Amino acid sequence: MTTAHTPALSRARRWLGQLIDECVPPGHQPQGTADWHPDSPDDYCPRCGASAGPGSVTPRGCAFCLNLRFPWQRITRLGFYGQPIDDWIRDLKFHRRWRYGQWMGEQLAQALASPPLSETDKSETSGGGGLIVCPVPMHRFRRWHRGYNQADLIAKAVAKTRGFTYAPILKRTRHTPPQTAIAPSRRHDNVRHSFDIQNIDLAGHDVILIDDVKTTGATLSTCTRLLNQANARSVHAAVIAVADPKGQGFNAI
């Protein structure tokens, strides 16, 4: 009898192992991080996040964003959307490696070397003071399907690592196709009127807005404008990766 039930028992054990692996991913840290280092601020444009060599960025921007206007004050990234970060992000979003979000948030927290506080408040605040960390929200239907919002996981880790205040004050009001399914030229229209903000006055507060990837900047721009309308003193966008403005990664994330 034992022998007859061995194949079924083996299948059950494999299924249970896969389920445990999905619910509690085996690694906090992605593979391949030993030889990886986050970009330094000199590796990219602080206005749009595009890769740019030393001396190629002016106060008006780099070759990709020269004279363009952005609603945020600056952007911080860990790297461009390419190997190995693209694999890590896909695992985080689509393969239930949600614990990667904590590690990514810790790395991003260290990259945020200078909290965006005004000069008048630096002497009056400690532990972040009027600085809050806000994730880009996910619609409840997509969150139910995925089980978590990766931007939320990253934001919580950033706030915990740096001692900042975590404040999920933005909300997704409309369920739309994922940006990955939309042509880059239509992504601003796809997210228009899809977000809202709590009835809150952010006067005196600087905000770090967290997302996993910036491509066209449509989502970050929409969310930043809502924060600005709520009187945020400044908004600093922070992401894990930025897609190459020349096209690499735009249709893959």
pLDDT digits (tens, 9 = 90+) for 71-107: 999 999 999 999 999 999 999 999 989 999 999 999 9
194, 222 contact by CB (below 8 A): yes
> Where on the phi/psi map is residue 165: left (φ > 0), alpha (ψ -120 to 50), or beta?
beta
* Whole-number Å distance between alpha carbons of 13 and 138: 34
Structure tokens at 233: 């003193």
For residue range 159-214, what is the model confidence (pLDDT) as tens digits?
A: 999 999 999 999 998 766 555 555 555 555 555 667 999 999 999 999 999 999 99
Domain 75-242 in CATH 3.40.50: yes
Q: For residues 162 and 171, give the distance between their C-alpha atoms in angstroms, rounded to a whole number.
A: 24
Distances (CA, A) of 118 to 7, 24, 54: 66, 41, 26
CA 225 to chain centre: 17
CB 228 within 8 A of CB 71: yes
| Mean pLDDT computed over every residue of the chain | 82
